[in-house]
A and B are shown apart, each in its own frame.
Chain A
């Protein structure tokens, strides 16, 4: 039996991000649309970073969770970190990842990353510094909190 659109969304909410399992694909905002018509389910999915090795895993997880669904990968700039849901941002913070700063009209600059507007997800201090633009996955940077002396990962704004 073909699921309804809300059922598909519910199923997708249960798929964890392969690298940050506290957030689901729906929390990440990478599901652009779900369409159910004439017994056919179509899911439009936008990758986070193109270099993300988890893309194939996510695609397969969706096809397993929603049998028969056609998953189309849309590689344009419609996804930005602004699409991470408020619930997703909270889950990230609780797991020790600082959520991304809001995207601005101009492209991110190094001076912004070096400024101390980024809050430590552990103690809330803004006394944090950039350690490395790059981290363990393409979507993350490394920062260090001068207040609680804890290194942490910051989601890059794109």
Chain B
């Protein structure tokens, strides 16, 4: 689609990795925000809303890094067709039950910690600095995920949800980082649901997420 800014070439191979990360954060933030107002506990309503806001803030920072100071991060975030998104199917799934929702939160945080930790050593100082900042904020998301994991680890519905989401979690990381995920989660390696394909849940999410952009292409004024 025209209007999508060209990604800066100077980052070489990085953009697709970065775009994948940005899209994951945007979409997982969108999914988490769906619990606003309807989470089973008021405390979780607050927690999911706050986490969602922060994940979308991380997405914005990655998009801004990708488009550069004069680029339009919103255009990159919202003016692509669903097939052009690089998010992993893990974050797309429309989960309507609390057990798989918490299972995804926990798996996603483990995945995210592994790749953010790797990015902190990136030779690009802007990217490494951003990763370090995000890592500090994510400490609180991890606490939340770990707290629930400790509470539910022996609960059959939670274990079943983790096992069902496991191929998706594996596919969210590049092959070279999967070994660490396997040892952290403690499940054996299976056929992953790879990034690059999309679940059928992305389409309806994209429809809703981009409604305002598509109805006011020149930019909505609030």
Contacts and interface: CB of A to CB of B under 8 A. Distances in A.
Interface of A: 49-53, 74-80, 107-110, 113, 131-138, 142, 156, 158
A15 to B, nearest CB: 21
A110 B136 contact: no
Given A107-B135, A110-B146, A138-B50, 16 more contacts: A50-B54, A50-B60, A74-B129, A75-B61, A75-B65, A75-B130, A76-B126, A76-B129, A77-B132, A79-B133, A80-B136, A108-B140, A108-B143, A131-B43, A134-B144, A137-B50
Contact of A76 (B49, B58, B60, B132): B132
Contacts of A142: 46
B47 interface: yes
8 contacts: A51-B55, A74-B129, A75-B64, A77-B129, A107-B139, A131-B43, A134-B51, A135-B46
B57 interface: yes
A158 B135 CA distance: 10
A49 B137 contact: yes
A80 B139 CA distance: 13
Nearest to A52: B57
Given A50-B61, A75-B61, A133 B134 contact: no
A75 B66 CA distance: 13
Nearest to B138: A107
A77 B116 CA distance: 13
Contact of A133 (B47, B60, B136): B47
* Majority secondary structure of chain A interface residues (helix, strand, loop or mixed): loop
A75 B129 contact: yes
B53 A138 contact: yes
A78 B56 CA distance: 21
A48 B162 CA distance: 33
Contacts of B187: none
A80 B133 CA distance: 9
Contacts of B43: 131-132
Nearest to A76: B129
B57 A49 contact: yes
A138 B137 contact: yes
A132 B61 CA distance: 26
